[in-house]
Amino acid sequence: MSPPTPASQDTRTRILDAAARLFHEQGFNATGVSTILREAGVNPGSLYNLYPSKDALLAAVLERYTELLHPIVMAPVEAKASDPIERIFALLQQYRDWFSPLEFRLGCPIGNLALEVADSHPEIRPLIQQNFDGWSGYVERWLREAGDRLPRSLDRRQLASTVLTVMEGGLMQARSSRSAAAYDASVAQLRQYFDLLLARASGGGKHT
């Protein structure tokens, strides 16, 4: 129970928590360092002792998201559903459950940053990429677990990427309309697609 560098460790997490929350709520450019300092209860010198710049802090936040991907995002899904294909829809449902109480005011923390800083901050883009790869990597693994319930010719990686597309594209529209409709619509169509794929793999190779 004795952390190696107690004060600094605590400061670090307080800063990371505040920064992550504010970047998510307001975006990167719209969040002032002074706000992060206030919310974290920390002075400028402490922050700049740990992170040389606001950009470096953003990088740290994104590394943290990568670390938290499994414990926060994927583990609950794996616990809720055991069937690999149902896990995919449980994942999509989880995002809905997270964001619909706030009327989709926030959106995906990674997706937001992707569009805001992807091409202005070259050192940040790979970290966003890494988060997306991790996310769709889980989906791709589940699709492989589904084995021959899906057509053999189906490109699992393509479909995994499409699941992420549905998540991000649906959330973007939900955010713009402050309603779940577009998100639900895209998920419903994805479900339809899965049903057709599953039927084709089990039922018949009627078409060619």
Q: What gap in Å lies between CA 205 and CA 172, rounded to an integer? A: 37
Shortest reach from residue 92's CB to its own copies, in Å: 12
Shortest reach from residue 61's CB to DNA, in Å: 13
Give the C-alpha distances (Å, rounded to integers) separating 94 from 44, 75, 90, 117, 196: 37, 11, 6, 26, 24
Packing angle, helices 6-26 and 54-68, rounded to 10: 90
Q: Residue type at 108?
A: C
Shortest reach from residue 208's CB to DNA, in Å: 57
Chain centroid to CA 70: 11
Angle (nearest 5°) at CA 193 between 190 and 194: 90
Choose the one of DNA, its own copies, none that binds residue 26, judging by a C-beta under 5 to 8 angstroms depending on kind: its own copies
Give the C-alpha distances (Å, rounded to integers) separating 69 from 77, 150, 170: 11, 26, 20
Binding site for DNA (CB under 7 A): 5, 7-8, 10-11, 31-35, 42-46, 48-50, 52-55
Choose the one of DNA, its own copies, none that binds residue 50, judging by a C-beta under 5 to 8 angstroms depending on kind: DNA
Q: What gap in Å lies between CA 62 and CA 58, rounded to an integer? A: 6
Tally Cβ neighbours within 10 Å of residue 50.
16
Shortest reach from residue 200's CB to its own copies, in Å: 7
Q: What gap in Å lies between CA 86 and CA 9, rounded to an integer? A: 39
Select 64 or 141, whichever has its Cβ closest to DNA. Answer: 64
Binding site for its own copies (CB under 8 A): 26-27, 29-30, 105-107, 111-112, 114-116, 118-120, 125, 128-129, 132, 155, 157-159, 161-162, 164-170, 172-173, 175-178, 181-182, 185-186, 188-190, 192-193, 196-197, 199-200, 203-204, 206-207
Give the C-alpha distances (Å, rounded to integers) separating 181 from 86, 104, 170, 174: 21, 11, 9, 7
Select 55 or 184, whichever has its Cβ closest to DNA. Answer: 55
Shortest reach from residue 154's CB to its own copies, in Å: 8
Choose the one of its own copies, DNA, none that binds residue 100, judging by a C-beta under 5 to 8 angstroms depending on kind: none
Select 51 or 104, whichever has its Cβ closest to DNA. Answer: 51
Choose the one of its own copies, DNA, none that binds residue 161, judging by a C-beta under 5 to 8 angstroms depending on kind: its own copies
Shortest reach from residue 35's CB to its own copies, in Å: 13
